[in-house]
Amino acid sequence: MMTFILGITGGIASGKTTATQTLETLGIQVVDADVIARNTVSKDSPALKKITQHFGPSILLGSGYDSDSLDSGELNRTRLREIIFSNPEEKQWLESLLHPLVRESIIHQLSKITSPYGVLSSPLLFEKNQHRLVDRTLVIDTPTSTQKVRAAQRDNTNQQQIERIIHSQLLREERNKKADDIIMNTGSVDELQQAVTAYHHQLLPKV
Q: Which amino acid is present at 170?
A: L
pLDDT category of residue 166 using cuts at 50, 70 and 90: low
Kindly tell me if the per-residue pLDDT of 1 is higher than 60: no
**Strand, coil or helix: 66:** coil
Residues 149 and 177 in one domain: yes
Q: What CATH number corresponds to the domain at position 56?
A: 3.40.50.300
Residues 129 and 158 in one domain: yes
Residues 148 and 175 in one domain: yes
Count of domains observed in the chain = 2
Q: How big is the CA angle at 71 (ends 46 and 69), to the nearest 5 degrees?
A: 130
Q: Side-chain half-sphere of 170: how many Cα atoms within 13 Å?
A: 20
**Domain range holding 2?**
1-28+117-207
Nearest to 128 by CA among 148, 149, 110, 106: 106
For residue 67, the model assigns a pLDDT of 47
Note the pTM of the prediction, 2 decimals: 0.85
Residues 167 and 65 in one domain: no
Residues 24 and 10 in one domain: yes
